[in-house]
Structure 1
Amino acid sequence: MLWIKAFHIISVISWMAALFYLPRLFVYHSMSEDETSRERFKIMERKLLRGIANPAMIATFIFGIWMSWLLWDYYSTQVWYWCKITLVSLMAAYHHACIVYFKQLRDDRCTKTHKFFRVFNELPVMLLFGIVILVVVKPF
């Protein structure tokens, strides 16, 4: 169980690092004015999304579901756990929104400004705060 938990934590950290950085790349991409810069950001965004964010999200879900399955009798009765699952689902939805924006930026058809992406970049931080507090403090 401890190995599963360790790999779950590693994958969560990797996933969050990618979700913190990807929208920041969107900020710089949307501010870029020359083709060379835009192409560079497209490459960076693609590599981050496909090489780190997507695999880390998948690993997070695999190890999280595995841990939940092993202790289902406990987790299934905990209110904090179901609140955490809700926030994790919102994080996954955020991840998929990043994929949508990645494709729009890749295809040069994104209408969002760098100001939008600066605000958008803060959402996973708020979700992460809630998730960590629920897991560590278990307030209910």
Structure 2
Amino acid sequence: MSEALVEQVIARCQRAGAKQADAVLVLSDAIEVRVRGAEIDFVKQSRERVLGIRALVGDGAGLRTAVTSTSDLSDGVALALADDTVELARATAPDPYAGIPKDGFAENPPELSLCDPADRKLGVDSLIASAREASPQHAVRIRELKTRKDPKRAASSSP
């Protein structure tokens, strides 16, 4: 699970005939807690690892586009999916507006402060206490999503 895998997938799409390709690797962890009054009703912890691939083929009237994703990040599966994504793109209708932005993607996106970094360190017990405190008489659900998407793991190619 690395920048190298993303680069390999893009190169594979190009070798398979894609005029343009991009890929993104998303890694996230989540904890969800639900309490009813003082009782713990539900605790769920999940981890997501997903590779998304977009391949664009063709010229002239527009590019044919396909998007696929997988949670199996082994090299063999990821590279086979790159080939399949290009084949799938060949089967779609051309879109005159499809393509990777000519100016590329944002290199340094702004920090929007949508999440307090200290929240990433909260454990299950802390989330349960917060849910109980929020509304002692009602059902309360708290979901904490910790997404890590390194911009270096999102890459694209265009001739």
* Fold in common (TM above 0.5): no
Q: Which has the larger radius of gyration?
A: 2
Using structure 2 for the length normalisation, give the TM-score.
Answer: 0.27
Using structure 1 for the length normalisation, give the TM-score.
Answer: 0.29
Q: Comparing both structures, which one devotes a greater share of its residues to strand?
A: 2
Q: Comparing both structures, which one devotes a greater share of its residues to helix?
A: 1
